[in-house]
Amino acid sequence: MHFNRYQQAAIKTLQPAAPDADPVMVPLLGLTGEVGSLATAYKKHLRDGPGMASGKHLLREELGDVLWYVAALAHRFDLDLEDVAAASLVKINDWWLTTPTADRVFFDATFPQAEQLPRQATLTFTLQQRDRDGRSVAVLTHNGKACGDPLTDSSHIDDDYRFHDVFHLAHAAVLGWSPVTRFLLRCKRKSDPRIDEAEDGGRAIAIEEGISALVFAYAARHGYFENVRHIDHEFLKTIATMTSHLEVSVLRAADWEQAIMTGYAAWRQLRANAGGTLHLDLNQQTLTIE
pLDDT tens digits, one per residue of 172-230: 999 999 999 999 999 999 999 999 999 999 999 999 999 999 999 999 999 999 999 99
Give residues with Cβ within 8 angstroms of 288, minimum separation 6: 266, 278, 279, 281
φ, ψ at 99 (rounded to 5°): -60, 125
For every one of its 290 residues, what pLDDT tens digit does the chain have, with 9 covering 90 and above?
A: 899 999 999 999 999 988 889 999 999 999 999 999 999 999 988 888 877 767 788 999 999 999 999 999 999 999 999 999 999 999 999 999 999 999 999 999 999 999 999 999 999 999 987 756 677 899 999 999 999 999 999 898 899 999 999 999 999 999 999 999 999 999 999 999 999 999 999 999 999 999 999 999 999 999 999 999 999 999 999 999 999 999 999 999 999 999 999 999 999 999 999 999 999 999 999 999 98
Between CA 210 and CA 217, with CA 216 as vertex, the angle to 5 degrees is 95
Query: Which 3 state secondary structure label does DSSP give 208?
Result: helix
d(CA 205, CA 200): 7
d(CA 85, CA 83): 5
Residue 168's H or E segment, with its range, is helix 165-170
d(CA 37, CA 29): 12
Query: For the CA atoms of 71, 77, 78, 79, what is the dihedral angle to 10 degrees?
Result: -60
